[in-house]
């Protein structure tokens, strides 16, 4: 449980940092338009901090970590979320700095962000399989 709580705290701090980064980075660069950077703060807080607080509550009730695939879910989810956040940050910085990038680089960023979303989706499936399994185990006791 401590590992889940610490991870939620990490994502809380990262989300707050990214919110401040968005505000200051756009201000320093005189950027007033729309940018992907504005979505980093809520993405990290909801998909990272709040999600793992919910996992922590469910762990307390259903002992999710006793399921043999919990670590696969845990690692998969974090890889997917961090990959998605990194690609969002790259895309947002490119937008704010108004950088000219090649079509190949642009497609690569989009592809990697898409891969991050796919990995998160796989992790969600694992999570719900774990949750349903543990609920069934609790009902059968």
Whether 139 has a pLDDT exceeding 90, the answer reads no
Mean pLDDT of 69-82: 98
* Domain residue limits at 90: 2-139
Instruction: Write the CA distances from 113 to 23, 68, 134, integer angstroms.
Output: 22, 29, 31
Please state at what angle helix 103-139 crosses helix 51-62, rounded to 10 degrees: 20
Residue identified by tokens 């505000």 is 23
- Do 9 and 44 form a contact (C-beta atoms < 8 A)? no
Q: 50 pLDDT band (50/70/90 cuts)?
A: very high
Q: How far apart are the first and last CA of the chain?
A: 22
Whether 88 has a pLDDT exceeding 90, the answer reads yes
Q: 54 pLDDT band (50/70/90 cuts)?
A: very high
Report the alpha-carbon distance of residue 119 to residue 47 in Å, rounded: 13
Whether 33 has a pLDDT exceeding 90, the answer reads yes
Total number of domains constituting the chain: 1
Residue-level pLDDT at 140: 81
Mean pLDDT of 104-115: 97
* Nearest alpha carbon to residue 39 among 31, 49, 47: 47
């Amino acid at each position: 449980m401590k590992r889940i709580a610490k991870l939620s705290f990490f994502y809380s701090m990262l989300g707050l940092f990214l919110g401040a980064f968005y505000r200051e980075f756009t201000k320093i660069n005189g950027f007033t338009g729309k940018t992907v950077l504005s979505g980093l703060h809520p993405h990290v807080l909801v998909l990272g901090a709040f999600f793992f607080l919910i996992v922590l509550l469910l762990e307390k009730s259903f002992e999710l970590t006793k399921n043999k695939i919990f670590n696969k879910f845990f690692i998969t989810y974090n890889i997917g979320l961090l990959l998605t956040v990194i690609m969002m940050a790259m895309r947002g910085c490119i937008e704010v700095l108004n950088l000219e990038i090649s079509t190949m680089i642009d497609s690569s960023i989009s592809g990697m962000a898409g891969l991050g979303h796919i990995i998160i989706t796989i992790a969600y499936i694992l999570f719900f399989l774990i949750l349903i399994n543990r609920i069934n185990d609790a009902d059968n006791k």
